[in-house]
Structure 1
Amino acid sequence: MINWFKIKLQYILPKHLVSRLVGKLASAEAGGLTTALIKLFIKQFNVDMSEAKFPEPDHYRTFNEFFTRELKEGLRPICEDPNQLAMSVDGTVSQLGDIDFDTIFQAKGHNYSLTTLLGGNPDIAAPFQGGKFATIYLSPKDYHRIHMPMDGVLTDMIYVPGELFSVNPLTTQNVPGLFARNERVVCIFESNHGKFAIVLVGATIVASIETVWAGTVTPPPGQNVQHWRYPKDSENTITLAKGEEMGLFKLGSTIVACFEPEMVEFNGQSSGDTTRLGEIFATLKD
């Protein structure tokens, strides 16, 4: 009954309004109050501050600075083998496996459309149909910066407006099409081995999604799909190396990574496995 109520409440609450208000509070420099909130959060979610570049709570002027904290240098070594992809985030595997033509598995009884996830353009989705996907959940205690699994050239960024349901395991198991209905930022890259996409999915009280090349993408949220294209062969080409930071969440969420068919094989992970940035994520096929 309690879980049923938690799900139904999400349909009723003004999720965008709540999320933006929380975002305002998280960006406020409130001195001792900010420090007290950070300490409470650390205790509540058992955050391991020994991994942080700056472990003292009073170092952070705002809650957002704390939430997007950097890790100590060298703490997450990036796998060096050029034939292996690096895990992009600290988190937990929600699901991963094959894309069944245009269908991605969310949870028992729930699938969603790849094309819808990537913004509704069939031409954008076509290269990934029949490929591989991995959905990784970032909990409140996790490191919230996203890094590149392999070298890539940015070709497209798409902002897709949508809901802001929670993306925790309970909601994932009960809200149909969750990741294809929440607000999200789709990043498409080309590599020497094929295309890959990293989708940054928003959620309740996620105050902001940012990329390193564009800064804050949302908010402002907007009501329409927005599509930016980037040159592949010019002085303005955006190339990011394996392990390099590509974006971040201000408050936690989920990423969905998609790969072309016959491009990669995952490294034996399964639903519920803990992930760590830089560890072996997948292996390139010959």
Structure 2
Amino acid sequence: MKNSLKDQLKNTLNHTPLSKDKLFTAAQHLVPQQRLSEVAGRFAASRHPLVKKAFVRTFAKAYGITLDEYERKSFNAYESFNDFFTRELTEEARPIDATEHGIVSPADGSISQIGQIEQDKLLQAKGTYYTAGHLLADNDDGNYFADGSFATVYLAPSNYHRVHMPFTGRLVKTRYVPGSLFSVNNTTAAGVPDLFARNERLVCLFETEFGMASVVMVGAMIVAGIETVATGKLQRTDSVQTQEHDMTLNKGDELGRFYLGSTAIVLLPKAAGTKWQAGLDHNTIVQMGQLLGTTNAK
């Protein structure tokens, strides 16, 4: 049985250390998350010149976004806010690290957490864990990643919002999991238990040289959609939706994109023997294609 709203709010307040953070996190239980995202999505998709201009210019100014690294150099070149938000980089902007058996960052952003999966548990924030089975919405898949490795990359609103392959692999399955749309920033990660396993998400499963691996694209507050090269833009449903695939993607290839900010989580099996690069820690800034670690694949 689901906890009542009162119980959820009490749990949130008990888990968040600062009063302003408690209020921010608790307020997210009260807002109509899905409805808010739907409304934001309609405005973000609008091609009306005045709507587009207002959204794009205001957002770019608020977050200090310039177009130096991007293919289209003029704000007027984008057909909608969504088109601007998922803007493409120039080909040379993000070289893909060529280290043999290397794992690269799937996105621009910051490391939320990185390390080993302790039995089946992933670190969400200091003292807070969630299980791989819950995240993947499948206990057997979760058990497969027991004692493996993971990296969680948070994409801030100002970041490049396409997600790329951290390794070469054959996409064999996607699993859309409906859920909440809490913010995924550090404040909410510290205050909402099982955050990444509660939010809407798309689980992507791959066959690789070191066994099965996964990239999970996690939705967030006001995220108007998730899209991948295999599925197209996902339609929200009330039930888990699974698709079979047979698509090989090379390291650095585009996997998908978010319409507004979110998080990408990479899961690697114990057999990969992943060694993360020294110096990667909570809040470390990373770029897509940057070397995060290496595996012992042969």
Q: How high is the TM-score relative to the length of structure 1?
A: 0.94
Deviation at 1:210? 0.5
Deviation at 1:3? 2.3
Q: Is structure 2 residue 106 aligned with structure 1 residue 97?
A: no
Q: State which of 289, 293, 298 in structure 2 corresponds to 1:278.
A: 289
Work out the CA distance in 2 between the residues paired with 1:221 and 1:33. Answer: 25
Work out the CA distance in 2 between the residues paired with 1:178 and 1:122. Answer: 18
* Aligned pairs (5 A) from 1:52-67: 52-67=70-85
Q: Is structure 2 residue 251 aligned with structure 1 residue 242?
A: yes
Q: State which of 266, 273, 279 in structure 1 corresponds to 2:276.
A: 266
Question: SS in structure 2 opposite 1:173?
Answer: helix
Aligned residue number for residue 14 of structure 1: 32
Where do 5+ consecutive residues of structure 1 fail to align? 231-236
Q: State which of 244, 264, 272 in structure 2 corresponds to 1:255.
A: 264
Work out the CA distance in 2 between the residues paired with 1:262 and 1:174. Answer: 33
Work out the CA distance in 1 between the residues paired with 2:111 and 2:254. Answer: 20
Between 77-86 and 139-148, report the one with greater CA deviation: 77-86
Work out the CA distance in 2 between the residues paired with 1:96 and 1:213. Answer: 27
Work out the CA distance in 1 between the residues paired with 2:189 and 2:289. Answer: 26
Question: Is the CA contact 2:211–2:271 (under 8 Å) kept in the aligned structure 1?
Answer: no
Aligned residue number for residue 197 of structure 2: 180
Aligned residue number for residue 234 of structure 1: none
Runs of 4+ in 1 over 3 A off after TM superposition: none
Q: State which of 134, 138, 162 in structure 1 corresponds to 2:179.
A: 162
- 1:145-197 Cα shifts (integer Å, max 9, x gaps): 01111110011100111100000111111111100000000000011122210
Identify the structure with the greater helix proportion: 2
Question: Is the CA contact 1:89–1:145 (under 8 Å) kept in the aligned structure 2?
Answer: yes
* Aligned pairs (5 A) from 1:213-224: 213-217=230-234, 220-224=235-239
Work out the CA distance in 1 between the residues paired with 2:192 and 2:142. Answer: 23
Work out the CA distance in 1 between the residues paired with 2:261 and 2:282. Answer: 19
Work out the CA distance in 2 between the residues paired with 1:186 and 1:92. Answer: 20
Work out the CA distance in 1 between the residues paired with 2:166 and 2:211. Answer: 13
Question: Is the CA contact 1:146–1:248 (under 8 Å) kept in the aligned structure 2?
Answer: yes
Question: Is the CA contact 1:35–1:60 (under 8 Å) kept in the aligned structure 2?
Answer: no
Question: SS in structure 1 opposite 2:119?
Answer: coil
Work out the CA distance in 2 between the residues paired with 1:41 and 1:244. Answer: 27
Work out the CA distance in 2 between the residues paired with 1:55 and 1:90. Answer: 19
Q: State which of 107, 119, 123 in structure 1 corresponds to 2:125.
A: 107
Where do 5+ consecutive residues of structure 2 fail to align? 1-18
Question: SS in structure 2 opposite 1:71?
Answer: coil
- 1:37-94 Cα shifts (integer Å, max 9, x gaps): 2111111112232111112111111000000000111110011223212211100000
RMSD over aligned Cα atoms:
1.2
AA in 2 matched with 1:267: Q
AA in 2 matched with 1:228: Q
Q: Is structure 2 residue 206 aligned with structure 1 residue 189?
A: yes
Aligned residue number for residue 13 of structure 2: none
Deviation at 1:213? 1.1
Q: How high is the TM-score relative to the length of structure 2?
A: 0.90
